Amino acid sequence: MDVTISNSRVSGRTRAPPSKSYTHRAVLAAGYGDEATVRDPLVSADTKATMRAVEAFGGSVERAEDDSHLVVEGFGGRPGVPDDVVNCENSGTTMRLVTACGALADGLVVLTGDDSLRSRPQGPLLSAIEDLGGRGESTRRNGQAPLVVGGATRGGRVAIPGDVSSQYITALLMAGAVTDEGIEIELETELKSAPYVDITLEVLADFGVEAERTDEGFAVEGGQSYAPEGGEYAVPGDFSSMSYLLAAGAVAAEADDAVVVEGARPSAQGDSAIVDILESMGAEVSWDREAGEITVPRADLTGTTVDVGDTPDLLPTIATLGAVADGDTVVENCEHVRYKETDRVSAMAEELEKMGASVTEERDRLTVHGGETTLTGARVDGRHDHRIVMSLAVAGLVAEGETTVEGAEHVDVSFPNFFDSMASLGVELRRE
């Protein structure tokens, strides 16, 4: 699907979708247990992949007709061997969390995904599984899917790099809680995307599982059970998805009006940093934390410098804001953002350049020269990446003429009703 966006002004209220990161973890946590209800989940292409994995391991996931909640019957801490290959589609989170889970099975589990997912690094997690007494192999021996895991991982102590993916740590902590020995994780390098591990620790605690930071990394005791208080867990709103709505308000709100985003209750999400980033660029952001509402009027933005070591998913949003702002916006510490659904550093540089932006791309840095940029409508490629699609759509709000984003259907990964939300705010768009 292509979506064409005209230069538009926006105002009104809209709601952020539930958090994808929390939904993945909550669904799998419920799977590790006996039975739990997950309320306010994000039901999207990625989270459906995790639901299917839970079912493949012997659990079941029943969706309410309105997707207001999921009833998950788990596999009691010991996944069964699936009848077929587990297809994680395009979901990197599913692949990594399920890899560690599958390594607990007595037999062997085969995991794969689409072309993009089969190009993403899994080697450090496979090595960790081997060190913990399980089996972890890449069928092509290149550290990438398809993967074969199993061998009833016992647990123990393991060293793993922290600068490739925080999802490795999340996967090991979640699986480690139901091993016999537990797992101690030593970080060999600085941890990138650390707030995502904070999310994991928060979800584990909510499901009654104790895990902790240590001087060397993280640890979780074995022999624990997953059971949320009262048998229910509620998913908070997603700040990664919220960033596009907030950015839309900052660059394109009607004069003397604003965009109000609901569902913004505080949590461990690192991407809530978008509020501070917008303020550093000159936006007047009002966050009512108790009500869970953020209000953003249009502002004359100025360039800033942002380290995205802990917030890689914000890079596309920041790049778009930089193209609208006066002066340079520098995104630092971003090499790990190249290993997402696509190389998001190059993708944003190349697609914004099609729209007239002046951009300097380096391996670990992206600089958008807003003072040298006048955005003009163009035909741009969403790169089969939901975050690229949504960021370019925001750029289209202020570009002269029309901007057509190819592959816009990929918003289904994390924000299925994104374009409906944008239209409700007054965006002129058409789907083709």
Is the bond preceding residue 228 a cis peptide, omega within 30 degrees? no
How many CA atoms, within 13 angstroms, populate the side-chain half-sphere of residue 406?
6
| CA pair distance 123, 154, nearest whole angstrom | 19
Burial class of residue 68 (count of CB atoms within 10 Å of its CB; 0-12, 13-18, 19+): exposed
| CA pair distance 224, 232, nearest whole angstrom | 18
Cα–Cα nearest to 98, from 20, 172, 198, 44:
172
| CA pair distance 361, 370, nearest whole angstrom | 14
Give residues with Cβ within 8 angstroms of 344, minimum separation 6: 312, 315, 316, 337, 338, 385, 387, 388
Locate the DSSP E strands across 343-394: 359-362, 365-369, 379-381
Q: Note whether 281 and 164 are within 8 A (CB).
A: no
Q: Note whether 296 and 317 are within 8 A (CB).
A: no
Please enumerate, by residue number, every residue annotated as part of a binding site for 3-phosphoshikimate: 20-21, 25, 165-167, 193, 313, 340
| CA pair distance 424, 421, nearest whole angstrom | 5
Calculate the dihedral angle through the C-alpha atoms of 57, 45, 193, 210, rounding to the nearest 10 degrees.
-40
| CA pair distance 58, 73, nearest whole angstrom | 9
Q: Is 313 a catalytic residue?
A: yes
Cα–Cα nearest to 418, from 383, 397, 396, 393:
393
Catalytic residue among 206, 238, 310, 313: 313
Pairing of strands 217-220, 183-187: antiparallel
Please enumerate, by residue number, every residue annotated as part of a binding site: 20-21, 25, 92, 120, 165-167, 193, 313, 340, 344, 387
Q: What are phi and psi of 112, to 5 degrees?
A: -145, -175
Q: Note whether 228 and 201 are within 8 A (CB).
A: no
Active site residues: 313
